[in-house]
Structure 1
Amino acid sequence: MSRARTDAEQVEVVNTAFYEAVERGDFEELSAIWLDDEISCVHPGWPVLSGRGEVLRSYALIMANTEYIQFFLTDVKVTVLGDTALVVCTENTLSGGPAEEAGELGPLVGQLIVATNVFRRTEDGWKLWSHHGSPVLAENGEEEDDETPA
């Protein structure tokens, strides 16, 4: 007998499904995850996109122009308050575009993105209301040394 999932577990399942749909380039599944009414999205480096048409069009463009993408989610934290849920996480993203030669994958690029995903409970389950991704600036690994050698 399986126990019923908590709201937080349900939200985490939908959050994971969102990233998996992007990885597979499954536009229909991705569309089904988003709310039908006013939604918003901020991709790293992009302006705010508002409305279902504009947001979904952006994902269609990303999917059409990305040969390979994979997300490794870390630091996932889910908070549920009533019919609203907030997921914050780090997207450890690996992606690549087509190479110059047909059938070849171009160089892979890794990037850290901090994401905030907001979900609303509906009659059809939890749906994505807003996604905001912000790049994490890489640290150079050098620490400043306040002490000067004698």
Structure 2
Amino acid sequence: MSRTDIELVEEANTTFYETMERGDFEKLSGLWLDDEISCIHPGWPVLSGRGEVLRSYALIMANTEYIQFFLTDVKVNLAGDTALVTCTENILSGGPAEDGGELGPLVGQLVVATNVFRRTDEGWRIWSHHGSPVLTESDDAEDEESPS
């Protein structure tokens, strides 16, 4: 029994996040289209083209000791050879300890993401990724306390 396009897109989306968790830059590079691609990391400007996008992932991987994604609210929509995936990235990450130990404190972050895939002869490839932070109630309270 062959898998449906929705299952294949879900698999491609999961592979994207698992590859980042492993820090496998070479495999991550192969998940993106060769064409004009774009990426928006939370708080970053728009990155366009393979060079800029892949350089951003190389920097993230080089400066992140540990990262794990727990995906929730995953929805896949298909339109011909294009797929749109929306999801919530529940991220747990950490860097090296200040004293040079194994791992510093872990930090949690909530990001909503849109991943756009295109069907190719090699399977579904990422065309665009856009992540946006989700403000929590404590973030709102801090904003209200800050002088304008």
TM > 0.5 fold call: yes
Match of 1:148 in 2: none
2: CA distance, partners of 1:103 / 1:36: 39
Amino acid at match of 1:113: V
Deviation at 1:104?
A: 1.8
**Could you tell which deviates more after superposition, 118-127 or 97-106?**
97-106
Residue correspondence of structure 1 range 1-150 to structure 2 within 5 A? 3-140=1-138
Q: Residue type of the partner of 2:89?
A: E
Tell which structure's C-alpha radius of gyration is larger.
1
SS of structure 1 residue aligned to 2:30? helix
Matching residue's letter, 2:67: I
- Deviating beyond 6 angstroms after TM superposition, the runs of 4 or more aligned structure 1 residues are none
Q: CA deviation at 1:102?
A: 2.6
Instruction: Name the aligned partner's letter for residue 53 of structure 1.
Output: G
What does the per-residue CA deviation read over 1:99-129, in whole Å, with 9 as the maximum and x for residues that have no partner?
Answer: 1223420111001000000000001110000
Give TM-score scaled by structure 1 length.
0.90
Aligned letter for 2:79? L
Which has the larger share of helix? 2
Q: When the two structures are aligned, how many residues end up with a matched partner?
A: 138
Which TM-score applies when normalising by structure 2? 0.91
Structure 2: state its 5+ residue gaps.
139-148
% identical equivalent positions? 80
